[in-house]
Structure 1
Amino acid sequence: MRRPTRPLLLATTALLALAALGIWYGQRQEAPVARAQSTIPVRVVSVAQQDVPRYASAIGSVLSLHSVEIKPQVEGVLTRVLVKEGQWVKQGDLLATLDDRSIRASLDQARAQLGQSQAQIQVAGVDLKRYRLLSSDDGVSKQTLDQQQALVNQLQATVKGNQAAIANAEVQLSYTQIRSPVTGRVGIRNIDPGNLVRASDTQGLFSVTQIDPIAVEFSLPQQMLPTLQGLLKASAPALVQAYMDADGERTLLGEGHLALIDNQISANTGTVRVKAEFDNKDGRLWPGQLVTIRLRTAVQENALVVPPPVVQRGADGHFVYRLDGDKVTSVPVKVLYQDSGLNIIAGVKPGERLVLDGQSRLKPGSRVEVAPDAPPPSEMADGRGQP
């Protein structure tokens, strides 16, 4: 058997040395990568302390405080309509007129009858005085005097009846001028001038609906009844906000106040109806409109506030990841109030930095790399925690 030659031994040694060098170099390159992969990137936010209003939300329907269907109270031909559809009118404005000739004739007839009765009672009164003088000397019988007195009483009653007929005719005549009972907006006209209208008609001429102020009716769970009663008794009216949701955006339509609670709870739904009133000078709230309602029920002072994504839910309840140096610690917390804008929690301290994003890869003791802090909850939720 031939022994390996010296050149072959040298070549083998060189190959082994190169292999060892390659392994050593690869390990040096992988070490930083392994260290880099051991840190998890996260975003954090500081616990804020602030006064937070608390709200109850519901879906409400906008209602007019006064909506009147304009109908005639007497029969007649509609001669004029003095307002246009959509026009704003004030209480007492003349809206329409009816043909009043027949009623005016009846009024003139009643006045003539009154004049006739007044003349008759004047003559009867003079005769009564004469009979009284004659009766003292037995110039007329007692029966004649009594008959004349009865005639005077009868004519007095006739005069009162004539006066009542005149008053009735004047009222009927006033009905031929239809005036607005409220300040509001005229709706779509149903009947045109020239048509005969009656008080018994089922369809009115048009409607007049009050727009400012306006109301919103909504329902809340019966468990909130004590809170609602306390809000009504408070010196300051409870704030109510009305929003409209459209195309993924929420628009504030108006701010009003809690007005009343219904006098009974619905046995079918377990809810109580509530009404709020709004100033509506710009007409953004419209009768029949569905809106989202937020009723401010309280203001919690010095509350510890975080954005909703900070709070996680585990098998044992809610918890957060707190940043301790370059590692995180799981801290159990209690959620006192929550909505889509912020959460009020207990179990942490003001200023502590909590993980906002990246919790899915974390566990207690994980090493993290912190991105720039997120804005505080007050800026994210506009300070009010919009739902």
Structure 2
Amino acid sequence: MIRQKYRVSGSALVLVVCALVAGCGQQQPQQQQAAPPPPAVTVATPNERTITDHDEYVGRFVAVDAVEIRARVSGYLDKIHFKDGQVVKEGDLLFTIDKRPFQTALDQAKAQLERARAELAFAQGDLDRASQLVRDKTITQQTFDQRTQVKRVAEANVAAQEAAVRQAQLDLEFTDLRAPVSGRIGDRRVSIGNLVTGGTTGNTTLLATIVSTDPIRFEFTFDEASYLRYERLAAKGNVNTSRDDLAARGGSSVVRLRLIDEKDFVHVGRMDFVDNVIDRSTGTIRGRAVFANAQGLFTPGMFARVQVPGSAPYTALLVPDTAIGSEQARKFVYVVRPDNTVVQKYVELGQLAEGERVIKSGLEATDRVIVEGLMRARPGIKVTPQVAPGPASAGTTARK
């Protein structure tokens, strides 16, 4: 009886274990069916805008007027009438050379002029008397001719002394050196009391330099291919960047500029010159723009970047630059199909416009482009798209 009881208990235990194993086998398929949800991504349709391509070039500011201050007469420097680095106006007094020797020379020239005039008056009176005497046959014709010659020599002497007075007056005026142009003057190169060498020879003394600041020019060079592109666009009437326009021979092209510490092209100027030859050694041609500089921010010699219109306005599709992926040399974007599967589309990129990239080909205006969550997307998988509000369409410019 005891053995039979144990046999029943063992059978019951086997049944319980089998029931547990069967339950585990039924729960395992249920756990396998609970797959993770599709990853969430943010999508947006391409932004459609009117774009104008711009080419960027690096250049340097140059002064419209740059003048070296040198004396026209030699002498000792007597006074300096400016502070180093000061802004001066045209006609302002800058230097004074000791006037005393030149005032003395002027007084001597005036005295010589008075002497010549007195000699002319005496010769004129002598000739008047000789005119009556020659008619009365009191003096010979030869004597009359001699007195006529003396009068003419006296007239020439007066003219020479008048020129000497004018030259002495000029020399005296040249002792005051004034600013020939408005602009900013540099530091003085000579101290008071030093001998200044003047004149028109090459060994004259440099006293200071003045550069004009408002307006100011910006010079840069662009390659031959760009020059041809501008000419062909202008020939089609698409953009006013031909040589005639750039050189202000009937128009001017608006350009924009930014300094090295600025992010945007906020300074507006106009082209006023393009050179007439292409440099053989570099294959580039020189262009020049003019910018207002009332605040004196731009300084000659300063570097900056300039934007020049490189195309006619056109309508383009733009996507955030962060949505662009790279596959070796090719660029692509991830697009979500209507069934929420991801597809890879290869695109041709254009220029950058305010943080968005111009797409020249490979994309449709209705495509839903993944702009956030690219690391979670793969071609062929399903995703959960979330629509991101896009910026309003507006005209803008594109740059390289």
- State if a TM-score over 0.5 links the two structures: yes
244 and 16 in structure 1: CA distance in 2 versus 1, 3 angstrom threshold:
farther
Normalising by structure 1, report the TM-score.
0.86
1: distance between equivalents of 2:382 and 2:205? Answer: 76
Q: Residue 222 of structure 1 contacts residue 271 of structure 1 at CA under 8 Å; is this kept in 2?
A: yes
- Secondary structure, counterpart of 1:366 in structure 2: coil
Alignment-mate amino acid for residue 322 of structure 1: V
Residue in structure 1 matching 2:272, options 247, 259, 274:
259
Q: Which runs of 5+ in 2 are unaligned?
A: 235-240
Report how many aligned residue pairs link the two structures.
Answer: 379
**Once the 2 structures are TM-superposed, how far is the Cα of residue 279 of structure 1 from its aligned partner?**
0.3
Residue number in structure 2 paired with 1:354:
369
Residue number in structure 1 paired with 2:238:
none
2: distance between equivalents of 1:377 and 1:116? Answer: 90
2: distance between equivalents of 1:68 and 1:358? Answer: 61
2: distance between equivalents of 1:215 and 1:70? Answer: 22
Residue number in structure 2 paired with 1:343:
358
- Secondary structure, counterpart of 2:213 in structure 1: coil
350 and 372 in structure 1: CA distance in 2 versus 1, 3 angstrom threshold:
closer
**Once the 2 structures are TM-superposed, how far is the Cα of residue 15 of structure 1 from its aligned partner?**
2.9
Of the structure 1 ranges 309-318 and 92-101, higher mean CA displacement relative to structure 2 is found in 309-318
Alignment-mate amino acid for residue 55 of structure 1: H
Residue number in structure 2 paired with 1:241:
256
**Once the 2 structures are TM-superposed, how far is the Cα of residue 302 of structure 1 from its aligned partner?**
2.1
Of the structure 1 ranges 263-272 and 171-180, higher mean CA displacement relative to structure 2 is found in 263-272
Of the structure 1 ranges 195-204 and 237-246, higher mean CA displacement relative to structure 2 is found in 195-204
Q: What is the 5 A alignment of 1:207-246? A: 207-228=209-230, 230=234, 231=241, 232-234=243-245, 237-246=252-261
1:169 aligns with 2:184: no
**Once the 2 structures are TM-superposed, how far is the Cα of residue 338 of structure 1 from its aligned partner?**
4.6
2: distance between equivalents of 1:315 and 1:217? Answer: 38
Residue in structure 1 matching 2:297, options 279, 284, 287:
284
Q: What is the 5 A alignment of 1:127-142? A: 127-142=126-141
Q: Which runs of 5+ in 1 are unaligned?
A: none
206 and 17 in structure 1: CA distance in 2 versus 1, 3 angstrom threshold:
farther
Q: How big is each residue's C-alpha offset from its partner over 1:95-153, in whole Å with a ceiling of 9 and x where there is no partner?
A: 12111111111111111111111111122122222222322332221211221222122
Alignment-mate amino acid for residue 349 of structure 2: V
Q: How big is each residue's C-alpha offset from its partner over 1:298-327, in whole Å with a ceiling of 9 and x where there is no partner?
A: 342322222334344557955433222212
Residue number in structure 2 paired with 1:206:
208
Residue number in structure 1 paired with 2:77:
78
Alignment-mate amino acid for residue 344 of structure 2: S
Q: Residue 254 of structure 1 contacts residue 285 of structure 1 at CA under 8 Å; is this kept in 2?
A: no
**Once the 2 structures are TM-superposed, how far is the Cα of residue 23 of structure 1 from its aligned partner?**
4.5
2: distance between equivalents of 1:59 and 1:377? Answer: 32
157 and 253 in structure 1: CA distance in 2 versus 1, 3 angstrom threshold:
farther
2: distance between equivalents of 1:98 and 1:257? Answer: 42
2: distance between equivalents of 1:46 and 1:275? Answer: 41
Q: How big is each residue's C-alpha offset from its partner over 1:142-178, in whole Å with a ceiling of 9 and x where there is no partner?
A: 2112212221221222122112111211221121111
Of the structure 1 ranges 250-259 and 116-125, higher mean CA displacement relative to structure 2 is found in 250-259
Residue number in structure 2 paired with 1:148:
147
Q: Residue 64 of structure 2 contacts residue 216 of structure 2 at CA under 8 Å; is this kept in 1?
A: yes
Q: What is the 5 A alignment of 1:1-387? A: 5-32=7-34, 34-36=35-37, 39-199=38-198, 204-228=206-230, 230=234, 231=241, 232-234=243-245, 237-246=252-261, 250=263, 252=265, 254-312=267-325, 314=327, 318-325=331-338, 326-338=340-352, 341-359=356-374, 362-373=377-388, 375-376=390-391, 383-385=396-398
Of the structure 1 ranges 296-305 and 51-60, higher mean CA displacement relative to structure 2 is found in 296-305
316 and 210 in structure 1: CA distance in 2 versus 1, 3 angstrom threshold:
closer
2: distance between equivalents of 1:76 and 1:216? Answer: 39
Q: Residue 48 of structure 1 contacts residue 351 of structure 1 at CA under 8 Å; is this kept in 2?
A: no
- Secondary structure, counterpart of 1:263 in structure 2: coil
Q: Residue 105 of structure 2 contacts residue 168 of structure 2 at CA under 8 Å; is this kept in 1?
A: yes
Q: Residue 334 of structure 1 contacts residue 347 of structure 1 at CA under 8 Å; is this kept in 2?
A: yes
274 and 143 in structure 1: CA distance in 2 versus 1, 3 angstrom threshold:
same
2: distance between equivalents of 1:383 and 1:323? Answer: 28
**Once the 2 structures are TM-superposed, how far is the Cα of residue 342 of structure 1 from its aligned partner?**
2.4
1: distance between equivalents of 2:101 and 2:329? Answer: 86
Output the aligned Cα RMSD. 3.0
**Once the 2 structures are TM-superposed, how far is the Cα of residue 351 of structure 1 from its aligned partner?**
4.6
Normalising by structure 2, report the TM-score.
0.84
2: distance between equivalents of 1:52 and 1:362? Answer: 30
Q: How big is each residue's C-alpha offset from its partner over 1:57-110, in whole Å with a ceiling of 9 and x where there is no partner?
A: 121111111122222221112111111122211111111211111111111111
1: distance between equivalents of 2:29 and 2:251? Answer: 72
315 and 61 in structure 1: CA distance in 2 versus 1, 3 angstrom threshold:
closer
- Secondary structure, counterpart of 1:144 in structure 2: helix
2: distance between equivalents of 1:188 and 1:55? Answer: 40
- Secondary structure, counterpart of 2:383 in structure 1: strand
Q: Residue 260 of structure 1 contacts residue 274 of structure 1 at CA under 8 Å; is this kept in 2?
A: yes
2: distance between equivalents of 1:20 and 1:147? Answer: 156
